């Protein structure tokens, strides 16, 4: 019977590793677990606590006791954006917000919960489940202002750009020792995604002169989306003990598509200038230049495509006190090429002359595959105290043509981490601090990638200095 279990784990792990196509760039969080994050994420070849479900499920075979863990990670992202005042933005309304801009500043909490047990009925088998935040973006930005003489009777919401994406991962996992040196593990990712997204949507005035005279060359719309859905993926890992001091880890995460559905609202704001309504003999356009707004509400569907990854790690136990580790990760963000919102029930009705209903809105992303390199060290100070440190280089996945303030990846980052654990019989209390810096990134050119009349990036200067604090409580029994 045990050989049958071994064969199953080998087949599943190999298939997932070969089929994998996550890291902290793009929309992903920085990871889970006090020990792993204190070492900069260099943990795939160590993976000897509950967080192995995320980093390398094969490592769960190293659990000497059953474990329950509760962790809280608090992130203060601190992004800053200085819009370009160049000619490309004139007439859009975005150039009116000058000076350095900041989102609504609010720390973001990420709780995780886990429990893993060893089954005495099957030697070498460990099973359990973890619940953690896999992907997140949470920003409110005030980036737009209508021209004073466009419409003084309608006021946009204070933060007219919002991105609130949360993806939870419920992760049942199993691991088994295949030989004295080799273990394999597999996990199922049951992901729940929730999205609240709001943006300015510009409609080009196609009526010609004099109706399209500046600033009426664009009609201003505010569009939002509120939806949720589920997706299923998997991860797998192998852990090989090369010798008494060296361990090697190999992991893979499949891509996940979260099928979302929800409701979209559109507010179309009309100019307030009766003089442009048209000659007395033709009142066709009069209603569109008397202020006010039109609203519409329709269902939408979105396939949120999240990336897979492949990773390699090596850990070296120099002596009884020191452990050193290195991880290299390739995350396939190129799968996230766009967000395509498909409107149902005939699309968004505009009820304007010469403007057809909007059947879909496509936001190009064109994300690129990226690398993450992590270095970590752990020092056993005595039987009660452990200190850790780490460094991480995280390459950006976002190209210039789709960089936006309300998506969190502003540039390649360097991160430094440090943490400490206190061991008290069956309890382990841990804390960790991290700071990461992306430098300044400058975008000079305004771009419409798919020629739909919507701007797909925001020219200007971007900086982000992110800080994280984590506390964790682990109970062994």
Structure confidence at residue 14 (pLDDT):
47
> Token pair for residue 259?
């099928």
Identify the CA nearest to 389 among candidates 379, 399, 402, 404.
Answer: 379
- Is residue 136 assigned to a domain? yes
Sequence-ordered list of residues with C-beta below 8 angstroms from that of 211, at least 6 positions apart, any chain = 205, 276, 278, 285, 289
pLDDT of residue 86: 61
Average pLDDT over residues 121-133: 81
Whether 18 is covered by a domain: the verdict is yes
pLDDT at residue 19, as a whole number: 40
Q: Is the pLDDT of residue 152 over 90?
A: no
> Which residues, listed in sequence order, are joined to residue 364 by a DSSP beta bridge?
338
Residue 285: alpha-carbon gap to chain centroid: 44
Is the pLDDT reported for residue 279 higher than 60?
no
Written as six digits, the tokens of 212 are 């399209």
Question: What's the pLDDT tens digit per position in 26-74?
Answer: 566 778 889 999 999 999 999 999 899 999 999 999 987 888 889 898 8
What pLDDT shows up at residue 112? Answer: 85
pTM attached to this predicted model: 0.87
β-pairing, 246-253 vs 460-476, is unpaired
pLDDT (0 to 100) of residue 473: 94
Whether 58 is in a domain gets the answer yes
Residue 244, pLDDT > 50, answer: yes
Q: What pLDDT is recorded for position 354?
A: 78
Query: Which of 14-18, 106-110, 196-200 tops mean pLDDT?
Result: 196-200
**pLDDT of 412 over the 50 cut:** yes
338-350: per-residue pLDDT in tens? 999 999 998 999 8
pLDDT of residue 15: 44
Mind listing the pLDDT tens digit for each residue in 281-319? 456 777 788 787 889 999 999 999 999 999 999 999 999
Whether 259 is covered by a domain: the verdict is: yes
Give dist(CA 145, CA 156) in Å, integer.
8
Q: For residue 431, how many other CB atoms are within 10 A of its CB?
A: 15
323 band by pLDDT with thresholds 50, 70 and 90: very high
Average pLDDT value for residue range 92-107 = 70
- Here the CATH number for the domain that contains residue 446 is 2.40.160.60
* E strand or H helix at 18: helix 2-19
Domain assignment present for 426: no
Q: Please state which of the ranges 95-99, 235-239, 286-290 shows the lowest mean pLDDT.
A: 95-99
pLDDT band, residue 23 (cuts 50/70/90):
very low
135 contacts 165 by C-beta, under 8 angstroms: yes
| DSSP tally for the chain: helices H, then strands E | 3, 19
User: Which residue, among 52, 88, 362, has the nearest Cα to 186 in the 3D structure?
Assistant: 52
Number of folded domains that form the chain: 1
Most distant CA pair in the chain, distance = 92
Enclosing domain of residue 265: 2-421+432-476
pLDDT at 3: 56
What residues contact 171, with CB distance under 8 A and at least 6 apart? 53, 54, 129, 130, 131, 132, 187, 188, 189, 190
Question: Is residue 450 situated within a structural domain?
Answer: yes
Mean pLDDT of 247-257: 97
What band does 230 get if pLDDT is binned at 50, 70 and 90?
very high
User: What number is the average pLDDT over the span 135-154?
Assistant: 80
Across the range 377-396, mean pLDDT stands at 96
Cα-based torsion angle of the residue sequence 387, 68, 476, 377 in order, rounded to the nearest 10 degrees: -20
Instruction: Report CA-CA distances (Å) from 223 to 90, 137, 157, 289, 422.
Output: 22, 18, 11, 21, 50
What is the DSSP code string of 120-170? TTSTTEEEEEEEEEEEEEEEEE------TTT-SS----SS-EEEEEEEEEE
Question: What pLDDT is recorded for position 437?
Answer: 92
Say yes or no to pLDDT of 397 above 80: yes
Span of 26-30, 216-220, 270-274, 306-310 with lowest mean pLDDT: 26-30
pLDDT at 6: 58
Is residue 14, in this structure, part of any structural domain at all?
A: yes
The pLDDT value recorded for residue 26 is 58
* Mean pLDDT across the chain: 86
Residue 271 covered by a domain: yes
């Amino acid at each position: 019977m045990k050989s049958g279990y071994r064969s199953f784990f080998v087949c599943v792990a190999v298939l997932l590793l070969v089929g994998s196509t996550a890291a902290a760039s793009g929309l992903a969080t920085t990871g889970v677990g006090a020990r792993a994050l204190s070492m900069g994420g260099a943990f795939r070849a160590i993976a000897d606590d509950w967080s192995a479900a995320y980093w390398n499920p094969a490592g769960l075979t190293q659990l000497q006791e059953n474990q329950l863990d509760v962790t809280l990670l608090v992130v203060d992202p601190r992004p800053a954006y200085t819009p370009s005042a160049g000619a490309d933005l004139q007439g859009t309304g975005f150039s009116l917000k000058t000076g350095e801009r900041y989102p609504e500043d609010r720390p973001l909490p990420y709780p995780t919960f886990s429990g893993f047990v060893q089954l005495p009925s099957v030697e070498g088998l460990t099973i359990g489940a973890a619940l953690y935040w896999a992907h997140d973006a949470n920003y409110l930005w005030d980036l737009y202002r209508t021209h004073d003489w466009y419409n003084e009777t309608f006021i946009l919401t204070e933060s007219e750009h919002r991105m609130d994406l949360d993806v939870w991962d419920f992760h049942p996992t199993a691991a088994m020792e295949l030989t004295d040196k080799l273990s394999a593990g597999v996990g199922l990712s049951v992901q729940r995604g929730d999205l609240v997204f709001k943006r300015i949507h510009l409609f080009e005035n196609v009526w010609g002169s004099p109706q399209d005279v500046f600033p009426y060359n664009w009609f201003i719309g505010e569009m939002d989306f509120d939806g949720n859905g589920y997706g299923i993926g998997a991860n797998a890992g192998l852990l090989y003990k090369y010798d008494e001091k060296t361990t090697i880890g190999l992991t893979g995460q499949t891509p996940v598509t979260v099928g979302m559905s929800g409701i979209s609202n559109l507010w179309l704001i009309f100019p307030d200038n009766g003089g442009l309504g048209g000659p007395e003999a033709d009142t066709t356009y009069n209603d569109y230049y008397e202020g006010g707004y039109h609203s519409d509400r329709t269902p939408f569907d979105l396939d949120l495509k999240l990336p897979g990854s492949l990773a390699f790690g090596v850990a070296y136990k120099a002596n009884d006190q020191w452990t050193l580790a290195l991880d290299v990760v390739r995350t396939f963000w190129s799968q996230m090429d766009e967000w395509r919102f498909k409107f149902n029930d005939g699309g968004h009705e505009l009820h304007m002359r010469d403007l057809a209903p909007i059947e879909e809105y496509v936001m190009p992303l064109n994300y690129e595959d990226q690398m993450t390199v992590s270095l970590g060290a752990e020092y056993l100070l005595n039987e009660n105290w452990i200190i850790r440190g780490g460094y991480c280089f995280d390459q950006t996945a976002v190209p210039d043509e789709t960089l936006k303030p309300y998506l969190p990846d502003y540039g390649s980052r360097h991160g430094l981490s440090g943490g400490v654990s206190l061991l008290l019989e069956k309890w382990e209390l841990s804390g960790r601090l991290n700071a990461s810096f992306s430098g300044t990134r400058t975008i000079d050119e305004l771009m419409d990638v798919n020629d739909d009349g919507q701007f797909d990036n925001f020219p200007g200067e971007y900086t982000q200095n992110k800080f994280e604090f984590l506390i964790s409580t682990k109970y062994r029994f």
